[in-house]
Amino acid sequence: MTWSEIKIHTTNEAIEAVSQIFQEAGASGVVIVDPQDLYKDHVTLYGTIYELDASNYPEDGVYVKSYLPTDDSLAEKVSIIKQSISELPNFNIPIGRNEVTISEVHEEDWSTAWKKYYKPVKVSERITIKPTWEDYQPSPDELIIELDPGMAFGTGTHPTTVLSLQALERFLNPKDLVLDVGSGSGILSIAAAKLDASHVYAFDLDEVAVASTQNNSTLNQTDELITVQKNDLLKNVQHEPDVIVSNILAEIIIQLTEDAFHLLKPDGLFITSGIIQKKKQEVIDDLTEKGFQIIETNELEDWVSIVAQKPSAMKKGRE
């Protein structure tokens, strides 16, 4: 089969939104080509050295790439993608150059392209993300999450995902009940299950995301601990969780806060990510207005995560 690579030259702030637009068009994964990767300590991050060619990277902004079958529907899908991206400034999301490039890639080349950029990455004290085809020997305390870019929405190493994983590792207590809102590839649900959650409910409105979460849960042998459901955010959810985690756009997080506060147990935590710097205060203000106490904020590159707590009349902190 022949595939078409659609490459968007855009901004860091638009990565999540453009990725979502690709998913809605039927793409099963995205590649983020960020020039900042050229300056990272790859030995520490990946445990191995491999060469990155600077000529493959933009001088400014980022490339967001994805792949669609080269068929009769391609032109219509590309048109929809372009139109959707052009509307992002209406939501205060800058799109930068917004240059679109389309090229053909044969299936065997496409598979190789994924693998060239994807190595095991330790994203927290205990959690390492590794591709299914890589040999990796974990330490006794290490938790391994296996992902295949063919079925995920990325490699799980975007700063918003890393911040969410680190927060889950710090704050999730054994036997906590967890809701993952906007599960995407399911990586946060899998992490919660491996961190000894009693059960995880993974919600996403997109059918591709639901299937991806289920597939990756099976791959990681966490099926019994994760229930995957197609659902619009927290609408009609009846569970009373200890933790809600959501790695989505700030605008969507604000739509969630009231339902999250209502559903959480006293002292329950709302872990949010996917927030660009300029939206940080807006989200904090909304959380506090709904009754949450801000426990901590963390930043990685241009992204922010916030851990908020539903207060209890009995005690102020979570043990």
For 223, the token pair is 């099926």
Name which residue leads in pLDDT, 295 or 110: 295
- Mean pLDDT across 60-81: 91
CA gyration radius for the chain? 19
Report pLDDT digits (tens) over 3-28: 888 999 999 999 989 998 998 888 86
Kindly indicate the confidence band of residue 314, based on its pLDDT and cuts at 50, 70 and 90. very low
Name which residue leads in pLDDT, 117 or 223: 223
Is a pLDDT exceeding 70 seen at residue 317?
no
Predicted TM-score of the model (pTM): 0.68
What pLDDT, on a 0 to 100 scale, did the predictor assign at position 49?
Answer: 42
Report pLDDT digits (tens) over 261-292: 999 999 999 999 989 898 999 999 999 999 99
The CATH number of 122-309 is: 3.40.50.150
For the chain, give the percent of residues with pLDDT over 70.
85
Is a pLDDT exceeding 80 seen at residue 30?
yes
For the chain, give the mean pLDDT.
86
CATH architecture of 2-116: 2-Layer Sandwich (3.30)
Is a pLDDT exceeding 60 seen at residue 41?
no
| Bridge pairing between strands 226-230 and 199-204 | parallel
Calculate the CA 72 to chain-centre distance: 31
Is a pLDDT exceeding 90 seen at residue 298?
yes
> Do residues 289 and 281 touch, judged by C-beta distance below 8 A?
no
What pLDDT, on a 0 to 100 scale, did the predictor assign at position 57?
Answer: 82
- Mean pLDDT across 285-310: 94
Kindly indicate the confidence band of residue 113, based on its pLDDT and cuts at 50, 70 and 90. low
What pLDDT, on a 0 to 100 scale, did the predictor assign at position 153?
Answer: 55
What pLDDT, on a 0 to 100 scale, did the predictor assign at position 104?
Answer: 85
* 204 labelled binding-site residue: yes
What pLDDT, on a 0 to 100 scale, did the predictor assign at position 115?
Answer: 65
Least confident span in 64-78, 131-145, 159-173, 237-251: 131-145
Is a pLDDT exceeding 80 seen at residue 215?
yes
* 44 labelled binding-site residue: no
Is a pLDDT exceeding 80 seen at residue 89?
yes
Name which residue leads in pLDDT, 317 or 40: 40
| Domain spans of the chain, in order of start | 2-116, 122-309
Is a pLDDT exceeding 50 seen at residue 315?
no
What pLDDT, on a 0 to 100 scale, did the predictor assign at position 140?
Answer: 87
